[in-house]
């Protein structure tokens, strides 16, 4: 894997996309379905034998908004602007909150950015990977 440095401009221009299935609960909030034993064929096979193959990660109102915006076509800059429009001062500082949340999603491999690239949490580094 080739590790490249990603500056702030590059980070805010990435277009994250969701990697896991999700559902909407009765309150309109997202519930992300993360496989318990990995995404590989063997992990899915074992998890299916255990009954419930997924962890259910319930997001709050702002997390739901961000999760839905991670469509692979919307940049983080645009998502931050839309957060302000939707929630006003409740999300300030919007960029800081969004940056922290996105880094957590990336660390947990719940989202991918710009196709095959993954941004790592520490130091805003980017790793190129063959398959996401």
List, in sequence order, every residue forming a beta bridge with 36; answer none if it has no partner.
Answer: none
Q: Are 100 and 11 in contact (CB under 8 A)?
A: no
Separation in Å, CA 125 to CA 2, 3, 88: 10, 7, 30
Query: pTM to 2 decimals?
Result: 0.75
Over residues 52-81, the pLDDT tens digits come to 788 899 999 999 999 999 999 999 999 999
Give residue for tokens 């277009």: 15
User: What is the chain's alpha carbon radius of gyration, rounded to the nearest angstrom?
Assistant: 16
Closest listed residue to residue 87, CA positions, set 58, 104, 64, 59:
64
Q: Are 62 and 87 in contact (CB under 8 A)?
A: yes
Q: Provide the pLDDT for residue 53.
A: 80
Over residues 1-49, the pLDDT tens digits come to 222 456 777 888 999 999 999 999 999 999 999 988 777 778 777 767 7
Q: Are 37 and 8 in contact (CB under 8 A)?
A: no
Q: How confident is the model at residue 130 (pLDDT cuts 50, 70, 90)?
A: very low
Q: How confident is the model at residue 123 (pLDDT cuts 50, 70, 90)?
A: very low
């Amino acid at each position: 894997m080739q590790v490249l440095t990603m500056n702030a401009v590059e980070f805010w221009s990435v277009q994250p996309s969701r990697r896991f299935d999700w559902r909407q609960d009765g309150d309109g909030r997202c519930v992300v379905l993360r496989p318990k034993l990995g995404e590989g064929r063997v992990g899915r096979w074992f998890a299916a034998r255990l009954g419930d193959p997924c962890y259910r990660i319930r997001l709050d109102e702002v997390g739901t908004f961000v999760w839905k915006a991670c469509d692979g076509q919307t940049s983080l800059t645009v998502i931050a602007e839309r957060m302000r429009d939707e929630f006003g001062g409740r999300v300030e500082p919007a960029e800081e909150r969004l940056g922290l949340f996105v880094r957590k999603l990336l660390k947990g491999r719940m989202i991918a950015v710009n196709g095959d690239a993954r941004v790592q949490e520490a130091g805003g580094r980017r790793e190129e990977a063959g398959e996401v």
